[in-house]
Structure 1
Amino acid sequence: MPAEIVSRSRATPMEIDGAESTDVTKIDMFLISDDDNQYEQDILRNTFDPLKAWLAYIEYKTNYGTVQEQAFIYERACKELPRSYKLWKMYLDFRVKHVSGLNPAKYEAQYDKVNDCFERALVLLNKMPRIWTDYLEFLMKQCKITKTRRTFDRALRALPLAQHNRIWTLYKPFANTASGPTAVKIWKRYMQVHPEDAEDFIELLVELGHYTEAAKKYIDILDDPRFKSKKGLGHFQLWSELCDLLVNHAREIKGIPVEKIIRSGIQKFSDQKGKLWSSLATYWITRGDFERARDAYEEGITTVMTVRDFTHIFDAYAEFEESVIGTLMEEAADRAAEGATDEDADYDLDIRMMRFEQLMDRRPFLVNDVLLRQNPNNVIEWEKRVGLWGENKQEVVQTYTDAIAAVNPKKAVGQFNQLWANYAKFYEKGGDLRNARIIMEKAVKVPFKTVQELAELWVEWAEMELRNNNFNRAVEIMAKATQAPKRSTVDYFDETLTPQARVHKSWKLWSFYVDLVESVGTLDETKAIYDRIFELRIATPQTVVNYANLLEEHKYFEESFKVYERGLDLFRYPIAFELWNLYLTKACARRIDIERLRDLFEQALEDCPPKFAKPLYLMYGNLEEERGLARHAMRIYERATRAVSDEDRKEMFDFYITKSASNFGLTSTRPIYERAIEALPDKEAKEMCLKFAEMERRLGEIDRARAIYGHASQFADPRIDPGFWKKWETFEVQHGNEDTFKEMLRIKRSVQAQYNTDVSFIASQAVARSQQQKDGVSSAVDETKDAMEALEREANAPVGFVAAKDTAPIKGTIGDEAPKQTVANTEEIDLDAMEE
């Protein structure tokens, strides 16, 4: 660029305005140079595409012309092509750029020139949203509220609806900045197009202090089921915001039925009643109407259904009363300091103090009311309410009356029968036995949930008569309670029948009845009741035992035995076991005929399960030993070894062997041992073999004992049962010779080899390892290595050879001669001991 052009490239807005307003014919000699002739000629020649020529001309001037020359070319181009959006956009951006750094207030005239440019552009380009947005952004910098607002309105009217969002993007911030009525009007227009932004409008209204309009807008969106909060708020959250607005600005909001709105919320949001009732009361407090606030609190605490809501309201109520009392006390203190008196104010303070104390005293009753409103069938809460009244007899009676009327017996929570019983006891304690009986008569007609409740109530009635020494009347009551047809076919567990129809089969009722008659009546009367219990087939094992003991106490032994037999007809094992045990014990003690006893024992053992057979067989065998024949007793014990359970079989064999040895000598036990070894499992059979071998040894039958050891060896793994082999070894050392000892070792090796290939060997190894861990053995690897080496030596040794000694080297350095350590051989034969 030439130096003279560069020096003229910086022009003031005044020069640009001059270029705009000066006639082209007058200033062309100054603004059109010889270098511009080429572009001027192109414009004249290019009549079909003049835009291209003008753009080239503008580009040239942008690079080499002054600002005034650029403005001059832009003006000419826009006048020649007034509908060219591109030219106008470039021109407007050029003009805005040159005034953007100026103060709009100081250079208002220059800004107005640019505004006129925008207006001229919009004459034909009013459908171009970008021109409008640039113009509006330019106006917003000039702080001309009215002109800007009107221009926004013109843009909205000129542009199609699809383009309005681009305008509203600027219009909303402008409205928020403008504030006041202007902002409200603009937002109202915006709400007609975009109702989903109602929350932003409400925030603006609250900021501007238009609380009534904000509340109305809340009501509109709450009434609109299609409204969805852009902030993700639910219906109740919007409701809460509305209530907070209504309560916090109660004095400013006019023309809105606040109480009606909050009450509708109480009905709609049942889980937030506590908060809404407190909000309603706070609204009246803000309005200064304390009496209506107190009415709201009272209505709230007497209608809510949950303790949480009640606590919320009650705490707010108490705080309100405390604040009012505190204010009145401060005023009274101020008057006292000034020496003035006000009787009405003091009287009001006293009343409020009494009201507050009464409120705090009512709290337990109010909480109880809440729980009873939740479930009027809660018997426990009714009992608590009775306790709250204390000695107030009139209220206690009224509470009992209300409870009986409110509780549904089939849905009662707690013991409804106990509520009736306590009601009767209340009159009984007061000495009014007549009313107590009337209550009991009504109570036994109530259709309770279970038969047990009705039975307990009959028992309570009888006990009440007993407490007042009316024994005959108590018996009559129980007779009435247990009254039933001769042959009752009623099922005690049939829920389709009323408790009154089934109560005669209540064992608890009959048990109390029989105890009562046994205490105050005769033996015949008691027997009749027991017989009636058996007829109704409701007797329990305890009933059988009690009846039999009663007859035994009165020396009716045979009848007591018949009672046991009747009980055994009703019950089977395992219950029958206890009855047989008592029956047979008492029969043996009475020393009745031996044949009869044998029949009884046979009956007892006929269907006896194995786990209950042992005591009966022992008792049977003892009977035969005492009063019969010993061989009969042995047969019984032999039967017992077959009949008892697996857990008791070994013990039974031991007992059988002991008895046989004591009665018929040791030799008689041999067949018993043999059968025991066959019948018992391996572990117990091994123990039995040891006992059998010991007996044969005592009898001097060494070969028989050795044979038994050999038979038992198949049950003893040398790895996990060294005790058996130690006993056999001791036996051979004492009674054998070298051949027998070698035979024992051979058997041991063969048994060990058998277990090595058997699955049980794996289990034995696991048991051995676990035992070593329990004993704290830390060198398991070394011991296993030594054991494997010993096995290899035994496998490689010739048959019949027993090593006298075995040495094991002590670990030392390689190449050194390790010292020797002598290790005792457990299988070494002590020949000296054998010779002795």
Structure 2
Amino acid sequence: MAPTNGSGRQPDLHLVTEDDFLYEQDIVRDPWSTKPWLAYIGAKLQHGTVQEQAFVMERACLLLPRSYKLWKMYLRFRTKHVAKLNAAIFAAEYRKVNILFERALILLNKMPRIWEMYLKFLMQQPLVTATRRAFDRALRALPITQHNRIWALYVPFANSAGGDTAVKVWRRYMQVHPEDAEDFVELLVQVGYYTEAVHKYIEILNNPRFRSKNGKGHYELWSEMVDLMVEHATEVQTGYETGIDVERIIRSGIERFADQRGKLWCGLATYWIRKGSFERARDVYEEGITTVMTVRDFTLVFDSYAEFEESIIGALMELASTRAEKGVVDEAADFDLDIRMMRFEQLMDRRPFLLNDVLLRQNPNNVNEWEKRVALWGDNKQEVVKTYADAIAAVQPKKAVGAFHQLWANYAKFYEAGGDIRTARIIMEKAVKVPFKSVNELADMWIEWAEMELRNDNFEDAVRIMAKAVQAPKRSTVDYFDETLSPQQRVHKSWKLWSFYVDLVESVSSLDETKKVYERIFELRIATPQTVVNYANLLEEHKYYEESFKIYERGLDLFSYPVAFELWNLYLTKAVDRKLGIERLRDLFEQAVEDCPPKFAKILYLMYGNLEEERGLARHAMRIYERATRAVSDEDRAEMFNFYITKSASNFGLPSTRNIYERAIEMLPDDEARDMCLKFADMEKRLGEIDRARAIYGHASQFCDPRTNPAFWAKWEGFEVAHGNEDTYKEMLRVKRSVQAQYNTDVNFIASQALARAQARRAVEGGQEGGEGEEVDGEVADAMAALERQARAPIGFVAATEGGVVGGTGAKSAAPAAVENPDAIDIDDMDE
């Protein structure tokens, strides 16, 4: 039987070979099954020609037009065949494949994979319209759940196509994927659809659920929109019809984004400049420099404003020069240029004032900036007065930054300098009623008023003003530090105010008036040590010595140590100079030293002792110095003992100092006791008491380690050589060895010596890094072990160690531990 193509028609027999009859027979037996066709196609793909392969696939797709597998295989075969051909040159070949795809899609239009193959194939050809229509047909044919596969190809195709095509495609795409709005905006800007881009930005910003794929925040998107509107001011359509009001949008940002106001003001002005509305731009700049709140924003807006004015003037000057070259005279244009130049100069002159306005807008309570503003006006009296008035009205006293009272004072001084003292007094009278932040400020304000009267030689008025300032009830219970009360209620307890008042009264009034003021200060209990001293000095200057002393006593009742020490020092000095009775002076000194802390006792006792030496009895002075050695602080005790010894020796001879030396050695620490022993021994040696001196040296030896205090032992040795004999010298050597052995058995001393030796060894060896800590520990351990062995050894023997050396450190370190009998005499040492 001859093979057929499945439709009853005879196939082209020249494409069917003898090897194909088996496959043809299988197809004839079961023509509606894909299995024999797939086997036939597989065999052809291995051994057949391209024509034979296409022939078999064509017959299969004609016979089974709904087979997705056969069509997919056939279409892939055909597209692969033309893939390497130039689509423009071989357009006919590509058209054949396009027709084949169209045939396949007649019955397989719900297969997204076929559509993807077709669309990808079309995108390789220069058929923009046909490709766009194919994409549209695909979207209409496929269910919406499969549209993402088509959009994945459609969007890149639209971007490559550009122009209106891309915009129209993206508009449809936005309905499905609004999250890609940023890419759509970028496309709109590229193709010049600026108005639509702005609308899209507005839509994004009004959508609270929108999340930027690029991680941009709300402000960043808003800023991009503003930059777009400003940059393309003439191309963005604004007005009621489009719903875009650029100025309103930017002003809303100025209110909302406080840290970007300078940039936004410049952007709004630039918008009007690009629109050609220069006057509106100038109005925006003026509004900007008068409303910004930071110096940074002000600098940004002002510099942009100045640059704008310079550019306008430059353009007008170029036009003027062009007219001059042509011989054309335009008086109106020249007048306009002059006006603009004057305006620019005025702008530059206003800069310091505008900058000052910025700082005052930041904090209207900044007194220093108000003072600077006054200085800016210079000799313009009208503006200076206006500035002072504005400052006083604007500054809240409790929140003032700086000396608010100084602002009032300068305001009054301004009128005073102009000769209007009456107005200055009115200002001062108002100033002292202001609820200042602190009592000090109010006190300074009263003082400023009084000083103004003094400058104008109105001394009585100055005194009257200060008397009014310190006016208070007879017994005031007001607490100076009570912040709940106003400064006016507490100012009468201000020491600064009373100090100025008393100096003023002292200089312009009588002594009695001055004394009343001082007494009032004591009544209010606001006196300071300086007040006491000043009052006492005042009375002393007028020869009221006893009253002066009483003031010191009143001051001592008010103040305790350490302040009382200074008062006692002055009081006692003046009392001694006045040659008061000795008994009275003794009573004063006893009162002074009664509760005196050790830190301040030395000077008072020395003054007391000096008084007794000059006007009393020497033994009383010695008794005072003896009390001083117990009363002074530890750091002054040795010096006090030396002074006591010196005075005792000069008054009663050297023998009288023995008890003093003994008590000093007993009370002083070891280091100072050692020095005291040496002095004691020298004194006994001068007296010829050699045995006494030797005993003192023996007592002092317990404080002196031979290795750390060789000077002491050298001195004792010199003493024995000069005044001793063989027995005493040997006794000295025995004591020296005993003391050295005592220090060698001190655990703390041994440990410190071991550490010192280890550190010295490390320094010699160059500071080796490994095992240093272990070596130090080994030294300490060896020393401790030596002590234990020595403690366990029988009396009169020394515990043995390896090599015969305690601690294993060598012969030198073993020498102190080798003492067998403390009473034995080393003849070798004596011979040395």
Same-fold call, TM cutoff 0.5: yes
Alpha-carbon distance in structure 1 between the residues aligned to 2:629 and 2:543 = 38
1:661 and 2:649 correspond: yes
Deviation per residue, 1:81-125 (Å, 9 max, x gap): 323222111100111112223333343333222112212222232
Alpha-carbon distance in structure 1 between the residues aligned to 2:27 and 2:8 = 15
User: What SS is found at the alignment partner of 2:11?
Assistant: helix
For the structure 1 residues 246 and 476, does the alpha-carbon distance in structure 2 shift closer, same or farther, using more than 3 Å as the test? Answer: same
Are 2:7 and 2:63, in contact at CA under 8 Å, matched by a contact in 1? no
Match of 2:270 in 1: 282
Of 224, 234, 246, 1:241 maps to: 224
Match of 2:410 in 1: 422
Post-superposition offset of 1:408: 0.5
Post-superposition offset of 1:489: 0.5
Are 1:719 and 1:764, in contact at CA under 8 Å, matched by a contact in 2? no
User: What SS is found at the alignment partner of 1:668?
Assistant: helix
Alignment of 1:91-130 (within 5 A): 91-130=74-113
User: What SS is found at the alignment partner of 1:340?
Assistant: coil
TM-score of the aligned structures, taking structure 2 as reference length: 0.91
Post-superposition offset of 1:704: 1.4
1:443 and 2:426 correspond: no
Of 416, 419, 429, 1:431 maps to: 419
Alpha-carbon distance in structure 1 between the residues aligned to 2:597 and 2:39 = 119
Post-superposition offset of 1:25: 2.4
Of 522, 525, 529, 1:541 maps to: 529
Are 2:744 and 2:816, in contact at CA under 8 Å, matched by a contact in 1? no
Are 1:720 and 1:764, in contact at CA under 8 Å, matched by a contact in 2? no
Match of 1:212 in 2: 195
Match of 1:333 in 2: 321
Match of 1:31 in 2: 15
Alpha-carbon distance in structure 2 between the residues aligned to 1:448 and 1:779 = 71
For the structure 1 residues 766 and 253, does the alpha-carbon distance in structure 2 shift closer, same or farther, using more than 3 Å as the test? Answer: farther
Are 2:609 and 2:625, in contact at CA under 8 Å, matched by a contact in 1? yes
Match of 1:44 in 2: 28
TM-score of the aligned structures, taking structure 1 as reference length: 0.90
Deviation per residue, 1:149-201 (Å, 9 max, x gap): 11111212222333222211111111112212111110011111111111111
Match of 2:168 in 1: 185
Post-superposition offset of 1:768: 8.1
Post-superposition offset of 1:632: 1.4
1:142 and 2:128 correspond: no
Of 42, 55, 65, 1:72 maps to: 55
Select between 516-525 and 178-187 the one with higher mean Cα deviation.
178-187
User: What SS is found at the alignment partner of 1:27?
Assistant: coil
Alpha-carbon distance in structure 1 between the residues aligned to 2:764 and 2:516 = 74
Q: One-letter code of the match for 1:321?
A: E
Of 803, 807, 811, 1:789 maps to: 811
Are 2:6 and 2:28, in contact at CA under 8 Å, matched by a contact in 1? no
1:642 and 2:630 correspond: yes
Q: One-letter code of the match for 1:516?
A: L
Number of aligned residue pairs:
784
For the structure 1 residues 688 and 768, does the alpha-carbon distance in structure 2 shift closer, same or farther, using more than 3 Å as the test? Answer: farther
Match of 1:366 in 2: 354
Of 369, 373, 383, 1:385 maps to: 373
Q: One-letter code of the match for 1:152?
A: F
For the structure 1 residues 742 and 772, does the alpha-carbon distance in structure 2 shift closer, same or farther, using more than 3 Å as the test? Answer: farther
Of 252, 256, 259, 1:271 maps to: 259
Are 1:482 and 1:503, in contact at CA under 8 Å, matched by a contact in 2? yes
For the structure 1 residues 356 and 630, does the alpha-carbon distance in structure 2 shift closer, same or farther, using more than 3 Å as the test? Answer: same
User: What SS is found at the alignment partner of 2:348?
Assistant: helix
Match of 1:512 in 2: 500
Post-superposition offset of 1:797: 7.6
Q: One-letter code of the match for 1:199?
A: E
Match of 2:137 in 1: 154
For the structure 1 residues 449 and 704, does the alpha-carbon distance in structure 2 shift closer, same or farther, using more than 3 Å as the test? Answer: same
Q: One-letter code of the match for 2:56?
A: I
Post-superposition offset of 1:236: 1.7
User: What SS is found at the alignment partner of 2:272?
Assistant: helix
Deviation per residue, 1:744-784 (Å, 9 max, x gap): 122212212222232552587599889999xx999999xx9
Select between 176-185 and 753-762 the one with higher mean Cα deviation.
753-762
For the structure 1 residues 94 and 730, does the alpha-carbon distance in structure 2 shift closer, same or farther, using more than 3 Å as the test? Answer: same
Select between 54-63 and 368-377 the one with higher mean Cα deviation.
54-63
Q: What is the root-mean-square deviation in Å for CA atoms of aligned residues?
A: 2.5
1:197 and 2:180 correspond: yes
Alpha-carbon distance in structure 2 between the residues aligned to 1:279 and 1:252 = 16
Q: One-letter code of the match for 1:107?
A: F
Deviation per residue, 1:295-342 (Å, 9 max, x gap): 010000000000000000000000000011001111111111111111
For the structure 1 residues 515 and 829, does the alpha-carbon distance in structure 2 shift closer, same or farther, using more than 3 Å as the test? Answer: farther
Alpha-carbon distance in structure 2 between the residues aligned to 1:504 and 1:240 = 60
Match of 1:163 in 2: 146
Alpha-carbon distance in structure 2 between the residues aligned to 1:606 and 1:652 = 18
Alpha-carbon distance in structure 2 between the residues aligned to 1:166 and 1:318 = 57
Q: One-letter code of the match for 1:420?
A: W
For the structure 1 residues 101 and 770, does the alpha-carbon distance in structure 2 shift closer, same or farther, using more than 3 Å as the test? Answer: closer
Match of 2:580 in 1: 592
Post-superposition offset of 1:127: 2.4
Alpha-carbon distance in structure 2 between the residues aligned to 1:273 and 1:779 = 67
Q: One-letter code of the match for 1:300?
A: G
Deviation per residue, 1:420-439 (Å, 9 max, x gap): 00000000000000000000
Deviation per residue, 1:637-687 (Å, 9 max, x gap): 111111100010011111111111122221211111111111110100111
Post-superposition offset of 1:252: 0.7
For the structure 1 residues 142 and 47, does the alpha-carbon distance in structure 2 shift closer, same or farther, using more than 3 Å as the test? Answer: closer
User: What SS is found at the alignment partner of 1:63?
Assistant: helix
Are 1:738 and 1:829, in contact at CA under 8 Å, matched by a contact in 2? no
Q: One-letter code of the match for 1:303?
A: T
Alpha-carbon distance in structure 1 between the residues aligned to 2:723 and 2:406 = 83
Are 2:734 and 2:825, in contact at CA under 8 Å, matched by a contact in 1? no
State percent identity of aligned pairs: 74
Deviation per residue, 1:535-558 (Å, 9 max, x gap): 001111111000000000000000
Alpha-carbon distance in structure 2 between the residues aligned to 1:272 and 1:329 = 34
Q: One-letter code of the match for 1:115?
A: N
Alpha-carbon distance in structure 2 between the residues aligned to 1:375 and 1:463 = 31
Post-superposition offset of 1:789: 3.5
Match of 2:799 in 1: none
For structure 2, the residue ranges without an aligned partner over 5 or more in a row are: 239-243, 769-778, 780-804
Match of 2:671 in 1: 683
Are 1:720 and 1:768, in contact at CA under 8 Å, matched by a contact in 2? no
Alpha-carbon distance in structure 2 between the residues aligned to 1:299 and 1:632 = 90
For the structure 1 residues 46 and 730, does the alpha-carbon distance in structure 2 shift closer, same or farther, using more than 3 Å as the test? Answer: farther
Alignment of 1:741-780 (within 5 A): 741-759=729-747, 761=749, 765=753
